[in-house]
Amino acid sequence: MVTKETAAYRQTPLEIAFFPCLSDNYGFLIHDPKTGRTTTIDTPDGKEIAQQAKQRGWTLTEIWNTHHHFDHVGGNEALVESLGVEVVGHGLDKKRIPKLTREVHGGDIFKFGAHDVHVITTNGHTLGHIIYYIPSAKAAFVGDTLFVMGCGRLFEGSPAQMYESLSKICALPDDTKLYCAHEYTLSNGRFAVTVEPENTDLKAYIQEAQALRERNHPTIPTTPAREKAINPFVRAESAERLGEIRAAKDVF
């Protein structure tokens, strides 16, 4: 039974903020005004993340890591030491994510205040890469799995694993906001047109992205709807084809 009180509780929306970190990463903060909990997705720059939280009057309570690369966990230790925050990450990465305190696995759903957070495994860039999907916010934090017109390099996983991971992300509702961890859009676009020179949606979007970047605006979040129209990795008809495109991008 949904009482008046629980309905109102559910309706308090999460606040999401993002900002550039390091050379081309993004930092993300999610704040639940109801409980005061605030999380950062990954820790590209601990100092910047702490500062961004502080200037909004938010107290960082946790870190949700997507994978173990240094530009995603580099600020973990400093933030744990200074603020005593909890660190959530994939169980498989417990030796690779500094200060991990809470292991999660694909398929887990945990609570952030009244909001459900779905943990989805997206192997490919690394093994044990996870994304965080929050249906109530229509938002997913996709780390280095999907980028605008691109996907993460296959450091640990196979083309088949990345194919499955991109399929999972693009199976989310079409208007889900996909928060990618890097601003790689323009360089991805330069490659994407070599794969799909006839794609008019792709060409139109690249113009849009160029205009945004000229004003130093971010090109994220993207959506499954957009990526299904313009992302050559998402549009690859098979895992094998995705592997070919990825190999071509690696030497582009």
By CB under 5 A, name the binding residues for Zn ion: 69, 144
Decide if residue 42 touches Fe ion (CB under 5 A).
no
Minimum CB distance to Zn ion smaller for 73 or for 172 = 73
- Is residue 165 within 8 A of residue 159, CB to CB? The reply is no
Please tell me the total number of residues recorded for the chain in this structure: 252
Minimum CB distance to Zn ion smaller for 8 or for 155 = 155
* Least Å from the CB of residue 74 to Zn ion: 11
Stretch that binds Fe ion, among 33-41, 67-75, 77-85, 228-236 (CB under 5 A): 67-75
Minimum CB distance to Fe ion smaller for 104 or for 180 = 180
* Near Fe ion by CB under 5 A: residue from 45, 62, 144, 183: 144
* Least Å from the CB of residue 26 to Zn ion: 13
Strands 102-104 and 150-151: unpaired
Within residues 149-208, the interface with Fe ion by CB under 5 A covers none
| Binding-site partner at residue 99 among Zn ion, Fe ion, none, CB < 5 to 8 Å by type | none
Stretch that binds Fe ion, among 96-104, 138-146, 165-173, 227-235 (CB under 5 A): 138-146
| Binding-site partner at residue 93 among Zn ion, Fe ion, none, CB < 5 to 8 Å by type | none
| Binding-site partner at residue 45 among Fe ion, Zn ion, none, CB < 5 to 8 Å by type | none
Decide if residue 71 touches Fe ion (CB under 5 A).
yes
| Binding-site partner at residue 32 among Fe ion, Zn ion, none, CB < 5 to 8 Å by type | none
Residue type present at position 61: T
- Contacting positions for Fe ion (CB under 5 A): 71, 144
